[in-house]
Amino acid sequence: MIAQAPEPGTPAVVAVIPARGGSKRIPGKNVRRFAGRPVIEYAVAAARDSGLFGRIVVSTDSDAIAAAAEAAGAEVPFRRAAGLADDFATTAAVLADALERLGGAGAVSHACCIYPAAPFLRPEDLRAGWDVVRTPGTLSAFAVTSYPGPIQRALRIGDDGTLRMVWPEHRDTRSNDLPQAWRDAAQFYWVDAALFLRERVLYGETSRPVPIPRHRAHDIDTEEDWQLAELVYRALHAGGPAA
């Protein structure tokens, strides 16, 4: 099923891209060039090309990010307050602030919070999420990807330098007998605006998954993450359209 854009005159479906200026681990992260383009451009382009959104809004405290976002085709109708741009502000709080500034649930029916450093995001991923989040009673739908192996067999390094199982009860459990585990792919969260503004959480018991392949799931938080993601991105695009 291909998602359709909402009819004119109905409450808006909006994209909100939270992009603060104070990234510590990768300074200037949200406007740093990734494979030749400011990384925030990929998020704006995916939102635009999905054809779903009446508005694409960037929430930022930074003039440099605002300029890059507007150059890419997004709106920056307000500046985020300093209290929502520090190391402790949650994505949920930033999204709630943006939706309230845009008029709340009366003006917005659904919103998609898209992370600014998501160069592997595709318009079809957003359309898949739009289809899923409209399931009645759904709080949110977000991108997930599978772990390559059973997390129940995970190891940790003890204080004495030896290896320990995190869950030793699964020492002899066959991998085939353990359930598949999934993780947040750190790309986007679709929310029902009214439910979200009531609950103020990005996922809960009524959230639903939008699976994406592991080769397109890169949570870019460190310099090592950035370098690996850029290598994979360039490899995927070396021969034409990405796989």
Q: Using one digit for the tens of pLDDT, what is the confidence trace for 148-159?
A: 999 999 999 999
Residue 37: the pLDDT is 96
Examine the pLDDT at 8 and tell me if it is beyond 70. Answer: no
Considering the chain, what percentage of its residues have pLDDT values greater than 90? 91
48 — pLDDT class (breaks 50, 70, 90): very high
Examine the pLDDT at 184 and tell me if it is beyond 50. Answer: yes
Residue 9: the pLDDT is 54
> Which domains occur in the chain, in start order?
12-145+184-237 (3.90.550.10)
Residue 1: the pLDDT is 36
Contact 23, 29 (CB under 8 A): yes
Task: Judge if pTM exceeds 0.85.
Answer: yes
Tens of pLDDT along 100-113?
999 999 999 999 99
More confident residue, 4 or 179: 179
Average pLDDT, integer, range 30-55: 97
Residue 2: the pLDDT is 39
Residue 185: the pLDDT is 97
Residue 3: the pLDDT is 43
Structure tokens given for 113: 């919070």
Residue 7: the pLDDT is 57
Average pLDDT, integer, range 56-78: 97
Residue 180: the pLDDT is 94
Examine the pLDDT at 10 and tell me if it is beyond 70. Answer: no
